[in-house]
Amino acid sequence: MRSFIFAAAIMSAATPGLAAPVVTDGPGFLFIYETTSIAVSSHDTTPAEATCPAGTLAISGGYDLNTPLLSILSSRPVNSNGRWHITIYNPTGSTISQDVVVFATCWGAH
């Protein structure tokens, strides 16, 4: 499952296996990729986020989640703290562990 919004779509699909946040400079933009290992309990939700540097705002973002068993309930900016936030839901009857890549396109003085 992939979500691409606005400027983040010009970057290649998020790379699985990234261990730490990756920052890529673009013309006036910063592209942030963060990989998080999650475990979502049965019929529960969990958040995941990509954080922009201080003084910047998340103007677009998305995620890369390679399982059809989990659903994304929201994918949105939280600009009070410069993050792109997703909420992941597990509709199955068992806990699912998975890596998810969340990315943000950040804009501002950096």
Residue 83, domain CATH: 2.60.40
Indicate whether 19 pLDDT > 80: no
Q: What integer pLDDT is reported at residue 56 of this predicted model?
A: 87
Of residues 87 and 11, which shows the higher confidence score?
87
Its domain, for residue 54, covers: 2-108
- Number of domains composing the chain: 1
Q: What integer pLDDT is reported at residue 30 of this predicted model?
A: 82
Q: Which residues fall within 8 angstroms of residue 17, CB to CB, at 6 or more apart?
A: 35, 99
Q: Are 56 and 107 in contact (CB under 8 A)?
A: yes
Of residues 20 and 56, which shows the higher confidence score?
56
Tens of pLDDT, residues 58-96? 999 999 999 999 999 999 999 788 899 999 999 999 999
**Cα separation of the two ends of the chain:** 31
Indicate whether 12 pLDDT > 70: no
Of residues 41 and 54, which shows the higher confidence score?
41
